[in-house]
Amino acid sequence: MSEYRHEYKYICSEQQLALIGNNIDGLMQPDKYAGNGKGYVVRSLYFDDFQDGCLYDNINGNDPREKFRVRIYNADKSYIRLELKRKEKGKTRKHSCRIDETLCREMMQGRPLRMDAIDAVIYRKFCLWQNERLLQPKVIVEYDRRPYVYRDGNVRVTFDMNIRSGNDIEGFLDDMLVTRPAMPVNQHVLEVKFDELIPDFLYAAVQTEKLRQTTYSKYYICRKYNPGGINV
């Protein structure tokens, strides 16, 4: 279980990301999973209830709010995680557990799950939501991530680029996935996460005061632009 953290999101152009990248180079280190600083592809399958409660919680800014997703990296089926993200009083916390490919495919199909399939609190909560709120897979969110870390204060800055959506739920675990752009050309997302305080020199390097902050999640963005989604 993770602790609550600050999390801020900003809309950036490629030019702004390049400038920020130059500013933080030498101040922050690429994440150890980033593959020589090149980053990786994040792909998530988001779930929502029959009333799209999670989506409208985000639109309305409800507090607290939660949503479930299944996440893989670089289309690697050997490492699959079920995650529950909770936002409360401006901070976020993430719970997660590993699942295998068989269970993931059952989730992709929206099948009722056995409560005792995994001994994890988050999984049992997913099963309860599935029974009580009729959770179903809604949309796939995919993007290219370049992450940086600064150990003091547990600061993490990520460049999330080329955000795209897909509604081919059956193809979630495929190597190649059909997607469509979810944001206008030359728009990406910068995320800044930290525990309590971000050092002044990092704040100056990231230059968030010059960026447009957003409260909308990637889930909202991809539901909005997904052909199988809803008009919001």
Residue 55 located in a structural domain: yes
Residue range of the domain that includes 62: 5-225
- Reported confidence tier of residue 41, pLDDT bands at 50, 70, 90: very high
Has residue 231 been placed in a domain?
Answer: no
CATH number at residue 194: 3.20.100.30
Span 13-22, average pLDDT: 94
The full DSSP string for 94-161 is: EEEEEE-HHHHHHHHTT----TTSS--HHHHHHHHHHHHH--EEEEEEEEEEEEEEETTTTEEEEEEE
Contact 77, 101 (CB under 8 A): yes
Top-confidence residue, 155 or 32: 155
- Quote the mean pLDDT of the chain: 91
Q: Report, as an integer, the average pLDDT of 71-96.
A: 96
User: Is residue 222 left, alpha or beta, with left meaning phi > 0 and alpha meaning psi from -120 to 50?
Assistant: alpha
pLDDT score for 101: 97
Look at the chain and report how many structural domains it folds into.
Answer: 1
pLDDT tens digit sequence for 164-219:
999 999 999 999 999 999 999 999 999 999 998 888 999 899 887 788 888 889 99
pLDDT of residue 226: 57
Mean pLDDT of 72-92: 95
pLDDT of residue 57: 95
Overall average pLDDT of the 88-114 stretch: 94
Please determine, for residue 106, whether its predicted confidence score (pLDDT) is greater than 70. yes
- What residues does 98 pair with on adjacent strands? 81
Token readout for 206 is 């990231």
Please check whether residue 157 lies inside any domain of the structure.
Answer: yes
The pLDDT > 90 percentage for the chain reads 78
pLDDT given at position 60: 93
pLDDT of residue 231: 46
For residue 103, tell me if it sits in a domain.
Answer: yes
Residue 89 within any structural domain of the chain: yes
Res 229 pLDDT > 70: no
Residue 122 pLDDT level (bands cut at 50, 70, 90): very high
